[in-house]
Amino acid sequence: MDFNKALDFYKQQRRKIIAQNYVGFVSSWDMETEAKENSILAESEQMAVLSELSYTLTTDPNFEQAVNVLWQNKDKLDEVLCHEVEVLQKDIQETKKIPMEEMSAYSVLSSQAYPIYVRAKTEGNFELFRPYLEKIVEFAKKQVVWLDGELHGYDILLDKYEPHYTQTQYDKFFDVLKQRLVPFVKQVTQQKPIVPAWATASYDVAKQKEFCEYLRDVLCFDKSRGIMKESEHPFTTSFGTEDVRITNHYYENNLVSSIFSVIHETGHALYEQQCDKALNSTLSGGGASLGMHESQSRFYENMIGRSKAFWAVHYGKLQQTFPTLQSVSLDEFVDYINLAERSFVRTEADELTYSLHIMLRYELEKELIEGDLKVCDLPKRWNEKFFDFFGMTPPNDQLGVLQDVHWANGSFGYFPTYALGSAISAQLYHHMQKDFDVEQSLQSGNTKAINEWLKEHVHKFGSSKYPDEILQYAIGEDFDPTYYVDYLINKYTK
């Protein structure tokens, strides 16, 4: 195959892969927002066929040959295509090592496991989910055997979610947190904070939605290119820059939960919407990695959403929506949304204690994948480790081992990207402030200047570069957790 023929073939196949990705995008959106348990179970066979089609497209020998020819002629490729081909080469080689029938069977397993997990969590019944989780862990362990090469064991899974990040990098990062943050958290959270009565009062869900819509406008989410619906756990998904979807969850007795979810998810959404549109016809759109994605959502949630400067402008609107808040001052509100407390649930954790929840999961995953921890012993091990980190024991598995959906999806290696993203957001914030006065910009009533900075430094590249390259471009530095720890200690010392 000569270069021109390879390029032609590559582009044709890429159109098919993109269309296939679209089908995956729509069906998974449907499963997580609309479909009932029985519908999901009935449709698992279709998901298996789709995963086989996608497998066949990626491992097509002609496609592999085309990719290899392009890689041999990489000096003729533009920067985006060059990176894309490099990533694809690795992807093809890895996919080929996994037997198709295993992939297909796993797809059936994971679509069946999801509704069972939801039921097990609702009932607080780990035993119901255990047989599924055992099979999921078994598949993850097989994967590390199939993909063994330059990387081994758990590192193989970590690298899938965050390229160039393995236990060496994460251990270094978490060691810094252990040395400086863990003792600080113990000291700051010694006394249980008093939760004001207004925080758990009843707030009309329709009104909450109205305020969350207002926040999407404030943060400049382009509503002509995306929607917001509801799901058990809020999330963001997208198909290029033109179809970006987020979800939220409303609790009548927890007003701030939906507020921080919409700010967080809009951070993810802006990353997608602000990508270079030219990347839509490539495989290089979307976020560079999960860690980079989380750095954006955390940036909006914490640096913007928990700041007094932001609420100085928007608290009036919240009081107008919920007149009972007239008796709560701006300072009281801002103090409350920045309370630090040791708690059981990761998604409800505050900014200070959040990464401790991640370190717990990281250590358990290591034991599951590389150590001798068995799934049947997981709830017990979770509670022991939780006690080590937090000094308390979850009263049930709902608030313990069953709280997160990730393991039901087979996403081992995903969790550490949450902590990494939080830390990167602090590093970006530090450098953004050197370029302009972020607080002053928030007083203008919207986040245009912040969005623009993030677009130019991070978003526009999509996944056309590795995350560490984007960080170098954006701030001229490698990842450094010191910014994060300094930021938290400084904030919570005040």
Active site residues: 265
The residue whose Cβ lies closest to Zn ion is 297
Give me 81's structure tokens. 């295509």
Quote the distance between the C-alpha of residue 158 and its chain's center.
Answer: 14
Report in angstroms how near the CB of residue 98 gets to Zn ion at its nearest.
27
Instruction: With CB under 5 A as the rule, give the number of residues binding Zn ion.
Output: 1
Amino acid present at 272: E
266 binds Zn ion (CB under 5 A): no
Q: Nearer Cβ to Zn ion, position 107 or 417?
A: 417
Give the residue, chosen from 274, 297, 441, 464, that forms a contact with Zn ion under the rule CB under 5 A: 297
Report in angstroms how near the CB of residue 459 gets to Zn ion at its nearest.
15
Span 191-220, contacts to Zn ion by CB under 5 A: none
3-state SS assignment for residue 206: helix
Span 244-263, contacts to Zn ion by CB under 5 A: none
* Nearest alpha carbon to residue 198 among 308, 333, 105, 390: 333
Range list of H helices, 299-415: 308-321, 330-337, 354-369, 378-390
Q: Nearer Cβ to Zn ion, position 298 or 465?
A: 298
Q: How far is CA 227 from CA 23, 25, 246, 265, 268, in A?
A: 18, 14, 6, 11, 13
**CB within 8 Å of 214: residues ≥ 6 apart:** 314, 317, 321
Q: Nearer Cβ to Zn ion, position 70 or 246?
A: 246
Per CB under 5 A, the segment of 11-19, 105-113, 292-300, 427-435 that binds Zn ion is 292-300
Whether 332 contacts 196, CB under 8 Å = yes
Q: Nearer Cβ to Zn ion, position 84 or 301?
A: 301
Span 66-85, contacts to Zn ion by CB under 5 A: none
Report in angstroms how near the CB of residue 156 gets to Zn ion at its nearest.
23
Per CB under 5 A, the segment of 21-29, 199-207, 295-303, 480-488 that binds Zn ion is 295-303
Q: Nearer Cβ to Zn ion, position 147 or 212?
A: 212
* Nearest alpha carbon to residue 97 among 153, 48, 144: 144
Question: Dihedral of the CA atoms 272, 275, 279, 280 (nearest 10)?
Answer: 40
Q: Token pair 């980079």 is at which residue?
A: 292
Q: Which helix (H) or strand (E) holds 244?
A: strand 243-248
Report in angstroms how near the CB of residue 166 gets to Zn ion at its nearest.
22
Report in angstroms how near the CB of residue 373 gets to Zn ion at its nearest.
27
Interface residue list for Zn ion (CB under 5 A) = 297
